[in-house]
Amino acid sequence: MTGGMSGLSDMDDLYEAIILDHYRSPRNTAPVEEPDIDLDVNNPFCGDEFHIQLKVDDDAVSQVGITGRGCAISQASASLLAELVKGKSTDDVHTAVDLIRRLLKGEELTDEEADVLGDIEALAGVRKFPVRIKCALLSWIGLDDALKEFSSTK
């Protein structure tokens, strides 16, 4: 391969347009008033970090706010996560997190399962860059664990 942009075209699977869009303009970053869940998640090895806030009403996520610093993958993934969880029941969130884990592990999802994830399927490109999978999963696992803990103390 020689010069020009062609050298980086192999990254297109990793940095799909939707990923770059969420990275540049992350959604749901406004702070949540009196959150039920308020946690910091970080991966010190990468220098990725998030502040995640959730309000849970009647076992469903009514408000979400996620801010963070880190690479394009981790930040876009968190923004996609924030869009997905809004209005979802805690069970639906757990299901989606399991789906994303399976997707990034390399499993093929059924059409129905893919529909649940929607745009988030764009993260599948990270599978070709195994070292970056943890970037994509960091916010998801943090939020899922916090939600499980919150439900169990109810």
Partner 1 sequence: MNNTYSETAPAAGTRKFDVESIRSDFPILARKINGRNLIYLDNAATSQKPRQVIKSLTDYYEQTNANVHRGVHTLSIEATDEYELARSKVANFINAPRPEEVIWTRNTSESLNLVAATWAEQNVGEGDNIVITAMEHHSNIVPWQQLAARKKAELRYLAAGEDGLLDISNLESIVDSRTRLVAMTHMSNVLGTVNPVRELADRAHAVGAVILVDAAQSVPHMPVDVRSLDVDFLCFSAHKMLGPTGIGVLWGRYDLLEEMPPYMFGGDMILEVTYEDANWNKLPYKFEAGTPNIADAIATGAAVDYLNDLGMDNVWLHEQELTVYAMEKFSALNEVKILGPKDPTLRGGVVSFIHETIHPHDLGTALDQQGIAIRTGHHCAMPLIRSFDVVAAARASFYIYNTKSEIDALVNGIRETEGYFSR
The footprint of partner 1 (CB under 8 A) covers: 1, 5, 7-8, 10-11, 14-15, 20, 42, 44-49, 69-73, 129, 132, 135
Alpha-carbon distances of 47 from 2, 20, 41, 68, 70, rounded to whole Å: 32, 19, 11, 10, 6
Q: Which of 147, 151, 77 is nearest to 117 (CA)?
A: 77
State which residue, 50 or 140, has the beta carbon closest to partner 1: 50
State which residue, 129 or 150, has the beta carbon closest to partner 1: 129
CB 94 within 8 A of CB 59: no
State which residue, 48 or 121, has the beta carbon closest to partner 1: 48
Q: Closest approach of Cβ 141 to partner 1, in Å? A: 18
Q: Closest approach of Cβ 117 to partner 1, in Å? A: 23
Q: Closest approach of Cβ 10 to partner 1, in Å? A: 6
How far is residue 105's CA from residue 99's CA, in Å, rounded to a whole number? 10
Q: Closest approach of Cβ 71 to partner 1, in Å? A: 4
Both tokens of 148, joined, read: 């499980």
